[in-house]
Amino acid sequence: MNGYAATANYTVKEDCIIDEATGWDVMSDWETPIMQLHADIVCANGGHILEFGFGMGISAGLIQAHDIESHTIIEVNDNIYDALVEWAKDKPNVIPVKGDWYDDIPTDRKYDGVFYDGFGDMLNKRYFPTRIMQHCKEGTILTWYNNFLQEQSQYDGDIKAIKKVHHIEQFDRQERIEYSPVTLDIPDKARIDWYLKGDGNTYYAPKLIVDNNDIGE
């Protein structure tokens, strides 16, 4: 169920990744504070961490700074996956997986933390709230890149335009989603609908802790 990112021609530069077809920044180093926040959230339990999307490896490096048992990274783009494999050579607890998170999550373990940051994943992102639960256990921490500069995300709240167009699923009992803020220096080019939407300079990282009702136990 691969989307746009699987075949996109991405060029990795020192400070960003560029989509050659559109000229858009796929990821930039100004997002480091965002990635630090997500890394701290997803690694709070330690244990087995699952990350969707390698990008520039910023979040992956920050996750590696935590005391974790394993770090599975799923990357769908050929060029970025090659960079992931090279980066992982001296990191024995990193498990690179080439493929689409929707179909290719390893099933040999349940994860203690999951971070979803899949650029260009318009086909699959709508299913994250329900699809991920089969890989979780009680207490698993879920966090995901929030495209909205507010204490709501694409998976909760009242952002109806996104839901009607893309049929994005929501987490059950959305009041359990917590948000952690970080102030950013956001470049103008990032303030477009598909990247960061809204006013201000505060990013809110969402967190949901899975309970037995989520996983049907």
| Domains defined along the chain, listed by start | 4-215 (3.40.50.150)
Residue 216's pLDDT is 79
Residues in the chain: 217
CA distances from 176 to 142, 157, 158, 186, 206 (A): 11, 11, 15, 28, 10
Residue 98 forms beta bridges with which residues? Answer: 75
pLDDT along the chain (217 residues), means of 10: 69 85 85 97 98 96 98 93 97 96 94 89 79 95 91 68 50 80 87 70 94 84
Location of structure tokens 């994250």:
128
Residue whose C-alpha is closest to residue 100's, from 68, 133, 122: 122
pLDDT of residue 119: 73
What integer pLDDT is reported at residue 196 of this predicted model? 75
In the prediction, which pLDDT does 66 show? 98
**pTM for the full model?**
0.90
Q: What is the pLDDT of residue 166?
A: 46
Other C-beta atoms lying within 10 Å of the C-beta of residue 41: 18
Instruction: Give the per-residue pLDDT at 138.
Output: 96
Q: At a CB cut-off of 8 Å and minimum separation 6, what does 181 contact?
A: 202, 203, 204, 205
